[in-house]
Structure 1
Amino acid sequence: MPFTIWPDSVTRDYDALKSLDGDGHRHVPETPRHGLLSLLTYPRQRYSHRRQVSLSRLRTRKAFCSASAILLFTIVGYLLLSLPLPSIRETPSQTKPTPDPQDELTTVPLGKSTARFNREFFWWEQFPTLHGFFRGHNTIVPLDEYLPEQQHVQEDPLHLNSTSTTVPPLTQVHLPLSDTFQPCYLDEQREILPPPISAYQGLPQGFPAPLLGSQDELGFEPVCYDRVNRFASYGYGFTKAQGGLGIELKGDNAGLNSVLGRDFTKVQWNDAQQRCLSTNRHNLTSRTAFVIRTWHSYQYTEHDILMLRAIVSELALSSGGQYTVHFLIHVQDESLPIWTSQTVYDQVLRESLPPEFHGMGTLWSVPQMMTVYPPPFPDSIVNFSGGEIYEAYRSLHFPFQHFATNHPEYDYFWHWEMDIRVTGHYQQLLHQIATWADEQPQHLAWERASRFFVPSLFNNSYAEYAQAVAEDVRSSGKDPISGPQLAQETLLDVPEQVDTDSSGAITDLITLDPLFDPSKSRWAFRDDITGYHVEKNGDNRPPTRAALITASRLSRRLLVLMHNETYLNKHTMFPEMYPASIALHYGLKAVYAPLPVYFDRDWPADHANEIFNNAPVGSEGQDAGMDHGNGFFHGPGGSVFGPGEHVFRGSTYYSNAMFAGYLWRRWLGRENRNGEIAWELGKGGGRMCLPMMVLHPIKSE
């Protein structure tokens, strides 16, 4: 769907699209593709319509335009002589850029930006927009007939404008359960089972393929989920009198009446997950805490409650107690003495969660963390944020480490955020990610994890990608990362942890973004490193890795090591850097799971590799001036993580991924500012159907 990104639209993405065509999208004429960029007459947003200049008529109008220009310049020059000159004290920030009137007809060179539409316009915004995300469940085809939108030719032989009147059959989502699994119930009377989740086999024809990561590689089922069969069982679409959430549904909601509604207001989720654990404890070889980070004054919306019901039901209950859901709640009012008064603690905790989730929270505060990790701490190399060491922004891992030391019953801990949404079944998501990570060999694991997996570059084969990484390491002449990366005498003892999956190596860290080396990058927090006695010239800087967005799975021994390093050695780093760096220092196994990340535009794969992985710039990029040092767009040792993060705006997973929020709301049927509901009920072919996706950030629903 064509759109214009605005700097202030992180939470108002895709707002106020002007002219719509018949499919609910703004029409953008595209020229045939030549090279990496297509010349698009890009639509404006919120601005009056301007006629597009016909390139075929430019020559015939050249003489007239030249004469008119001479006359115009003469008049303007005369007028300017009568006006006062601008003050020499005027700063660039006070002067808005003046775009060339013909600029929207020109191609912005690769790697460049220009002043356009009263904002900074980037080259990647010219890539062809992908429309297939918004096709409905009436367009679903089996996988052997499916072709992603990026592979369609101009003639459109698949007739993507047509839809079927037959909705494909639903199938219940497959869950990995042991033969000894005992069913768990929502109620104490053991009468109400967790709602089953159904999905459609196949995908809407022309649904785009992910630019980064892979559904197939992680083993997600080849299905897609619509909003009714995914969330109605948790109260979506039902009134509050029916025990639902009272969210009004618009658009195509056929089949809602066939979904069994339940009154979840009477469910006590903590009691349910504890009963489930008690029933299946003897079958469990490993347990995982799913820890959701929140704060005591957080206002839980109906959509938040919908998500949380799904999380507890699908992780704690559907897994037979393998997962237990916790809320790690930041008490931001530091005057509340939660660490000294049990009465105050209980009252704040009770007021911090919706009633159905009572009993699942753990409070923490900055004053409490100061008692757990007493001051003083040495200065960091560079405290870019300017905040105190105990502030959540700089030390989000402090309460997480402390939580792990107080819960020895868990082998692993997922760290999750309230603004993440998942379209598919939570247990399948986490099980497949963990299974895949455990199967990865530790040899060259750090090297494979340092880059995004761009599947179209490797015939959609991660094995080919892994082979390419191995070849790169061999040709570089550098030794691969193996074993501890700090001197043994500086390291603490590694806590014991049983290898519960018998894979041969515990996977200590699983991230959903690459583990990059920040030391030579332009990431703002690369030097927020404390306690390592680094010289002012950078000598003695410890090796570091970072994975941005803190959603990740950590082993118990990694978290205990982090705790001990902080408590005993006063070591800490910025939250996205500390877990990966401790794993690196101790030679632990860390894996980047290639989460499928979708983009709203058709990025050429080679160019995506140059930008997202800082691969050597090709000839076309060289000609465009993309070489910013030693043949790399981000310079030698550079990274996309830093000032170049604007390239993620059109994606489904990153801190500034504007497309994620729009896609989520439209899938829910909550987006109708530009005729989306009419499109869904008409040419769109019904409500949308999305494969397994992790979407972040979702700031409004």
Structure 2
Amino acid sequence: MARVTSTSSRRRIWLPFILVLIIVLCYRKSKRVQSYESPGWNVIDFQVKDYKSREEIYVADTAEEDFLDQHGTHRQPGHNHHGYHEYQAQIDAIRGRPAFQQQQLSYDALQDKIQQFIQWNRPSTDHWPAWHDYDDADYDPNRWEALDREYGYYLNNTVQELEHAGHKPEPYLPYPNYNSLAWRKKWHGQYKACEGPQGELLGEASTDDHVVHGYRTLVDNSPPETLGSAKVLGLDTSFCFDRYSRYSPYGMKDHNFGRSSRTRWDRMRWGALQEACLEKNAERYVPDGRTTMPLKPSKVMHDANDPLDEANKRRKDEKGARQYKSRTAILIRTWEGYEYKENDIQAIRALVTETSLLSGGEYQVFLFVNIKQREADIYNDDKIYRELLKQTVPAELRDMAILWTERVCEEWYPNVGDWQVYWMQFMPLQWFSKQHPEFDYVWNWETDARYIGNHYHFLEQISAFSKQIPRKHLWERNSRFFFPASWNGDYDAFLADTDEKILNASAMGLIDEPVWGPRPYAPFQYPLGPFPPTIAEEDNFEWGVGEEADLISLQPIWDPAETEWSYRNHVWNFIPEVRPHFSAENPNDDGFDHPGFPTIPRRTFINTVVRFSKRMLHIMHLENMQGRAMQAEMWPATVALHHGLKAVYAPHPIWTDRIWPAWYAEAVFNADDGIPARWSQQLDSPYNHDREANFGGWSWYYRSVFSHVLYRRWLGWKAKDWGWDADIARETEQEEKEALAEKLGKDVEELDDLRMCLPGMLLHPVKHVYEGADGG
């Protein structure tokens, strides 16, 4: 008995130690594992005979210690397909997150509801797509035009109403608390205010009249976003901006903001202002990234390996060390023959001031000018370069302009076989990145994009959101629109539902296994991005959190292979010497296809306002050097997929001119043809040619009409009424205006010049922006 007692005592003594050990092991397992990065950027292809599986490559090219996480725990590469029962634990874990709010119909029930909804009195006017082509169809891309219009953009939160409520414009400077104690602990150097157009130091209290002002909005008085979310991205919605408070600092004349009359804009040199700002703040940036190279273009191809990248990586890896701030280039895409209107230049002044001058050089804005005279020797002949610069760019923008021609793309990438900017829009960005390696990131920006709000705030919040997104299910999540009304605004519930659908559909074999790491198109393609630190089932949405995105899109990223999107098969040389051929008779080579294309994984997005990392552009460059390419909007996302780079769709807020029922918006834009988790990627894709008409009332889509109308009216200009119900709409809006006049105690005639006050809102396209334009 004594012996038993002694043993029991020893067991009691060890029990606390065993419990502590279990807790420690659980803690280690829960910590984020550092991702493995592929060693080097030199080789992009293996010969077929040299091919090794991804797992074998990972093992062979990695030292033993690279398989240890930050706590010394071994981890193994690779992943396998698993059956339904092995996914159940993950599904249960997801269900532990907030329950979704949406009442979801079965696919058949949803189709029945759609059939009832699209029975309506179609007009008989000329229209594309033709109204009556859908009398007996199971969908109607024109049905949305009969939805109720939203007049709140024009009548709510007007300056008149805001001032009636006692609101006054306030300086709007949504910037970090530069030089604070917390800021200095994190960042190298000191922030120094930069000079503005009149030599004033921007951002100081004494120069408040030189910066954008905003009005604090009336709560719940603006039309809600239809899709995306300002809250999810951390965008400020407490201020709105009218045309004068937004653009007066940049040349729009108004008696309340007197700056414009004192500024000689024709004498401004925005390039010099940006360079001076960077020089003042040089200590904040890595030594080799402090001086921008000359704008004069060169055809010289620099070494593919940039030593600056390795130096930066070493600095970031130093634990506890203060960080150097990254630098981002913004390239405004323009071309020889473009006519710069006054508002174009005001928008460019705003972009330069808000992103570059007020941030102390964190961004630098360039006018990226396509010279259509393909053989013009702008690279070697200074006289030709200066003459073309003078002919194509307004004086105040010339020292921030970079001229280029398609010829440099042909010389750098001869194996592709086509270099038209329409198809190969990002080839010149790759060239720019090699000429300007001091930039860690590059935004491709369009002349017909406008942001009502502060550009710096928008771009920084987009970047911060993308950095915190995990890689697990990222490619699948990227394809789905978020409609807040379907989820009571709960983005976490939306993600939980998305993840559950992905896992269920994959387990049942309805979709491919979720992407986890690189997905090369062929055995000999060596992925250059990082490999997963563990198998997907062991990752709790941790891998990728805190990792900057290599690609940021402002529209979903989706698989076009099973859709009828027009350009899904515009693929160059993935199958040797198989590529489109364009002619006067068939300028788009419609119908181009090949039996081998279904084996090539692809992704695409619509619109070319996107952000690239230097690594992303480098790998695109290497692929083009091999002769491989795809249609412009399909190229970056596909390269990211093949090489395992981090690509993120940032769901910025988008508004619509009609009030869409949430269920119908979901049914149209997240259509899946009855295959769960294949949002917008089947034969009922909203990106198909005729179905794309559904985007006509969006604030951000290349085929939208609403963005143009909204912006003109915000500027106080006439906008051509559009839509079959335009006459009814004018009458209804007049009735709404009369009700507002009564509310404010004014005669309705006093509201003929209502000054709209809109929140931070990204608009595209906005074309022909001058008062005398038709406005249609």
TM-score (norm 2): 0.64
Residue type at the aligned position of 1:275: A
Contact map agreement 1:140 1:204 (CA 8 A) in 2: no
Select the residue among 338, 346, 352 that pairs with 2:386: 346
Separation in 2, partners of 1:610, 1:545: 22
Separation in 2, partners of 1:400, 1:465: 35
Contact map agreement 1:184 1:317 (CA 8 A) in 2: yes
Select the residue among 493, 517, 520 that pairs with 1:483: 517
Select the residue among 688, 693, 700 that pairs with 2:761: 693
Separation in 1, partners of 2:130, 2:517: 53
Q: Say whether 1:369 aligns with 2:372.
A: no
CA offsets 1:441-482 (integer angstroms, 9 cap, x no match)? 121111111111111112212222111111011111153211
**Other structure's SS at 1:507 match:** coil
Measured at CA, do residues 542 and 213 of structure 1 come closer, stay the same or move farther in structure 2, by a change above 3 Å?
A: same
**Other structure's SS at 1:611 match:** helix
Shift of residue 138 of structure 1? Answer: 4.6
Residue matched to 2:573: 531
Separation in 2, partners of 1:421, 1:357: 18
Separation in 1, partners of 2:131, 2:443: 49
Contact map agreement 1:172 1:196 (CA 8 A) in 2: yes
Select the residue among 545, 559, 580 that pairs with 1:517: 559
Residue matched to 1:272: 273
Contact map agreement 2:440 2:614 (CA 8 A) in 1: yes
Shift of residue 440 of structure 1? Answer: 1.1
Separation in 2, partners of 1:108, 1:635: 25
Residue matched to 2:193: 183
Residue matched to 1:297: 337
Measured at CA, do residues 572 and 204 of structure 1 come closer, stay the same or move farther in structure 2, by a change above 3 Å?
A: same
CA offsets 1:245-265 (integer angstroms, 9 cap, x no match)? xxxxxxxxx734598853332
Measured at CA, do residues 315 and 44 of structure 1 come closer, stay the same or move farther in structure 2, by a change above 3 Å?
A: farther
Shift of residue 137 of structure 1? Answer: 3.7
Select the residue among 222, 225, 228 that pairs with 1:213: 228
Separation in 1, partners of 2:365, 2:515: 35
**Other structure's SS at 1:358 match:** helix
Q: Say whether 1:669 aligns with 2:688.
A: no
Measured at CA, do residues 98 and 605 of structure 1 come closer, stay the same or move farther in structure 2, by a change above 3 Å?
A: closer
Q: Say whether 1:123 aligns with 2:148.
A: no
Shift of residue 354 of structure 1? Answer: 1.0
Select the residue among 211, 219, 244 that pairs with 1:228: 244
Residue matched to 1:65: none
Measured at CA, do residues 513 and 493 of structure 1 come closer, stay the same or move farther in structure 2, by a change above 3 Å?
A: closer
**Other structure's SS at 1:392 match:** coil
Greater Cα offset, 201-210 or 407-416 = 201-210
Matches within 5 A, 1:35-434: 37=117, 112-113=139-140, 122-138=142-158, 165-177=164-176, 178-179=178-179, 180-186=190-196, 195-203=210-218, 206-222=221-237, 223-237=239-253, 255-256=256-257, 262-284=263-285, 285-375=325-415, 377=417, 389-434=418-463
Contact map agreement 2:195 2:357 (CA 8 A) in 1: yes
Contact map agreement 2:416 2:628 (CA 8 A) in 1: no
Separation in 1, partners of 2:610, 2:559: 18
Separation in 1, partners of 2:333, 2:630: 19
Contact map agreement 1:615 1:632 (CA 8 A) in 2: yes
Contact map agreement 2:147 2:659 (CA 8 A) in 1: yes
Judging by fraction of residues, say which structure has more helix. 2
CA offsets 1:43-93 (integer angstroms, 9 cap, x no match)? 99899xxxxxxxxxxxxxxxxxxxxxxxxxxxxxxxxxxxxxxxxxxxxx9
CA offsets 1:426-449 (integer angstroms, 9 cap, x no match)? 111101111111111121111111
Residue matched to 2:25: none
Percent identical pairs in the alignment equals: 30
Contact map agreement 1:182 1:320 (CA 8 A) in 2: yes
Residue type at the aligned position of 1:283: R
Contact map agreement 2:124 2:131 (CA 8 A) in 1: no
Select the residue among 662, 679, 687 that pairs with 1:641: 687
Q: Say whether 1:574 aligns with 2:631.
A: yes
Contact map agreement 2:170 2:215 (CA 8 A) in 1: yes
Measured at CA, do residues 351 and 409 of structure 1 come closer, stay the same or move farther in structure 2, by a change above 3 Å?
A: same
Shift of residue 369 of structure 1? Answer: 1.8
Separation in 2, partners of 1:188, 1:631: 55
Residue matched to 1:604: 661
Contact map agreement 2:252 2:260 (CA 8 A) in 1: no
Measured at CA, do residues 447 and 99 of structure 1 come closer, stay the same or move farther in structure 2, by a change above 3 Å?
A: closer
Residue matched to 1:88: none
Shift of residue 298 of structure 1? Answer: 1.2
Shift of residue 603 of structure 1? Answer: 1.1
Select the residue among 462, 467, 470 that pairs with 2:491: 462
**Other structure's SS at 1:645 match:** helix
Residue type at the aligned position of 2:384: V
Measured at CA, do residues 457 and 261 of structure 1 come closer, stay the same or move farther in structure 2, by a change above 3 Å?
A: farther
Residue type at the aligned position of 1:483: G
Measured at CA, do residues 530 and 700 of structure 1 come closer, stay the same or move farther in structure 2, by a change above 3 Å?
A: same
**Other structure's SS at 2:550 match:** strand
**Other structure's SS at 1:470 match:** helix
Separation in 1, partners of 2:331, 2:259: 34
Greater Cα offset, 204-213 or 216-225 = 204-213
Contact map agreement 2:550 2:613 (CA 8 A) in 1: yes
Measured at CA, do residues 257 and 658 of structure 1 come closer, stay the same or move farther in structure 2, by a change above 3 Å?
A: same
Measured at CA, do residues 641 and 43 of structure 1 come closer, stay the same or move farther in structure 2, by a change above 3 Å?
A: closer
Contact map agreement 2:714 2:755 (CA 8 A) in 1: yes
TM-score (norm 1): 0.71
Residue matched to 2:704: 657
Shift of residue 529 of structure 1? Answer: 0.8
Separation in 2, partners of 1:410, 1:258: 33
CA offsets 1:197-225 (integer angstroms, 9 cap, x no match)? 11122247542212111111111112211
CA offsets 1:316-354 (integer angstroms, 9 cap, x no match)? 101110000012211112242223423212321233211
Separation in 2, partners of 1:672, 1:182: 43
CA offsets 1:286-334 (integer angstroms, 9 cap, x no match)? 0000011111221111111111111111111011100000122111122
Residue type at the aligned position of 1:595: H
Residue matched to 1:584: 641
Residue matched to 2:548: 506
Separation in 1, partners of 2:501, 2:403: 47
Contact map agreement 2:251 2:346 (CA 8 A) in 1: yes
Select the residue among 559, 562, 572 that pairs with 2:620: 562
Name the Cα RMSD after superposition. 3.6
Measured at CA, do residues 233 and 697 of structure 1 come closer, stay the same or move farther in structure 2, by a change above 3 Å?
A: same
Separation in 2, partners of 1:319, 1:530: 41
Residue type at the aligned position of 1:390: W
Measured at CA, do residues 465 and 455 of structure 1 come closer, stay the same or move farther in structure 2, by a change above 3 Å?
A: same
Separation in 1, partners of 2:358, 2:553: 24
Measured at CA, do residues 226 and 111 of structure 1 come closer, stay the same or move farther in structure 2, by a change above 3 Å?
A: farther
**Other structure's SS at 1:414 match:** strand
Residue type at the aligned position of 1:666: R
Measured at CA, do residues 260 and 298 of structure 1 come closer, stay the same or move farther in structure 2, by a change above 3 Å?
A: closer
Shift of residue 190 of structure 1? Answer: 5.3
Separation in 2, partners of 1:483, 1:374: 30
**Other structure's SS at 1:459 match:** coil
